[in-house]
Amino acid sequence: MPDDRPYDAIIIGAGAAGMFCAALAGQRGRRILLLDHNSEPGRKILISGGGRCNFTNVGAQAENFLSANPHFAKSALGRFTPSDFIALVDKHRIAWHEKTLGQLFCDGSSRQIVAMLLDECAAGGVETAFGGSSTIEHRDGAFHVGKSSAPALVLATGGLSIPKLGATSLAYDIARRFGHKIVEPRPALVPLTLPVDQALFKELSGVSANVVASVGKGRFREAALFTHRGLSGPAILQVSSYWRHGDAVIIDFLPDLGAGWLRQAKRDHPQQTFRRVLARLLPERLAATLADQLRVEGDLGNVPDRTLEGAERQLSGWHFLPNGTEGFAKAEVTIGGISTADLSSRTMESRRVPGLFAIGEAVDVTGWLGGYNFQWAWASAYAAAQAL
């Protein structure tokens, strides 16, 4: 029988947050309309985690997120945890594994997560309209989207990353229209580019090493990868979220070695060259480039201790000065977005316009690499769904 009740809420954006919010609210008995301008929902989920969707991180806590208000995410993250999402994945018999650092991936395909969310939407009687766009108005206490209207509107259109998958600034535009502030959106979890004077490192394209990379408060021990344009790999993507123009990225190439290791190497292997010693610790091409840059020549036994100490200091705190990022086209997420200042951390509802909600990546809450961004999408969706 067709449902002729009025809609309780219209959700714009059928990505991770929008689909999950629609499903939960529908299952709470709300009549929900879920819209997306793409003809296929969840396109970012499909390509996420290299096609296996890193759907959560077991260690997700507010400390793993960046926001102008670092406390904002606590309430939602605390009320819908990684275990809650894992229980749903298990209910749908989707096999998964922990890859590293608490990151959970599907054994099979990201498609299973999209199918699960669509099944949950169907269980909640969610109505969907994909592949069209509509005007949005607010009058007489209701939100009018095309020919449909509802007392609540949920903005779930994500950030600006990967425009070719359908990313737009719609959530920011609407929020701004209703008087919300937008924290400047910037590409994050994105490769960094190096200027010509550091071009030497571009010759290392394809070489990676396990390092500690730092920018400001961001410090990550993971792999860094040299590319023909600059720096990439998990360690660099992580620190890119903390990076602003003018900042140095500091790399410790040998984080496991304590102070004095090079002088010790001189005593143990006085007839080895610096380059040879480095090549035992780092990929050969990287060792050669670093040795050339440090200009430590000849057998270690003939190199003054002071020179070795200087080389050691540089190897544990190499300064790269990126001149930019690879931009929204390559960024996994957008940092910044709808300011949390005028949103309820409990419900994600606007404090300015009753009935207006914002969830997921559209909000100024950005997770580290490793399943954190999906956990925020699920948790913020859950918070809003309880209030619809």
123-182 residues in contact with ligand FDA (CB under 6 A) are: 133, 156-158, 161-162, 166-168, 170
49-68 residues in contact with ligand FDA (CB under 6 A) are: 49, 53-54
Can residue 120 be called a binding residue for ligand FDA (CB under 6 A)? no
Output DSSP code: residue 343: B
Can residue 349 be called a binding residue for ligand FDA (CB under 6 A)? no
Can residue 36 be called a binding residue for ligand FDA (CB under 6 A)? yes
Q: Which of 238, 271, 247 is nearest to 373 (CA)?
A: 238
Contact 385, 121 (CB under 8 A): no
Burial (0-12, 13-18, 19+ Cβ within 10 Å), 350: buried
| Calpha distance 79→346 (Å, rounded) | 9
Task: Report which secondary-structure segment, H or E, holds 320.
Answer: strand 318-320
Can residue 230 be called a binding residue for ligand FDA (CB under 6 A)? no
Single residue of 28, 47, 51, 98 touching ligand FDA by CB under 6 A: 47
Minimum distance from CB of 159 to ligand FDA (Å)? Answer: 7
Can residue 240 be called a binding residue for ligand FDA (CB under 6 A)? no
Can residue 17 be called a binding residue for ligand FDA (CB under 6 A)? yes
Can residue 361 be called a binding residue for ligand FDA (CB under 6 A)? yes
The CB-nearest residue to ligand FDA is 15
Can residue 241 be called a binding residue for ligand FDA (CB under 6 A)? no
Per DSSP, the residues of 138-151 read EETTEEEETTEEES
Can residue 13 be called a binding residue for ligand FDA (CB under 6 A)? yes
Q: Which is nearer to ligand FDA, 300 or 381 (CB)?
A: 381
Structure tokens at 317: 């705190």
Can residue 336 be called a binding residue for ligand FDA (CB under 6 A)? no
User: x/- contact string, 275-314, with ligand FDA (CB under 6 A)?
Assistant: ----------------------------------------
Q: Which is nearer to ligand FDA, 94 or 156 (CB)?
A: 156
Bridge pairing between strands 218-226 and 208-215: antiparallel
Residue count, binding to ligand FDA (CB under 6 A): 38
Contact 314, 243 (CB under 8 A): no
Residue 84 is which amino acid? D
Structure tokens at 22: 């629609």
| Calpha distance 275→1 (Å, rounded) | 77
Contact 124, 25 (CB under 8 A): yes
Q: Which residues make up the interface to ligand FDA (CB under 6 A)?
A: 12-18, 35-38, 43-44, 47-49, 53-54, 133, 156-158, 161-162, 166-168, 170, 332-333, 360-362, 371-374, 377
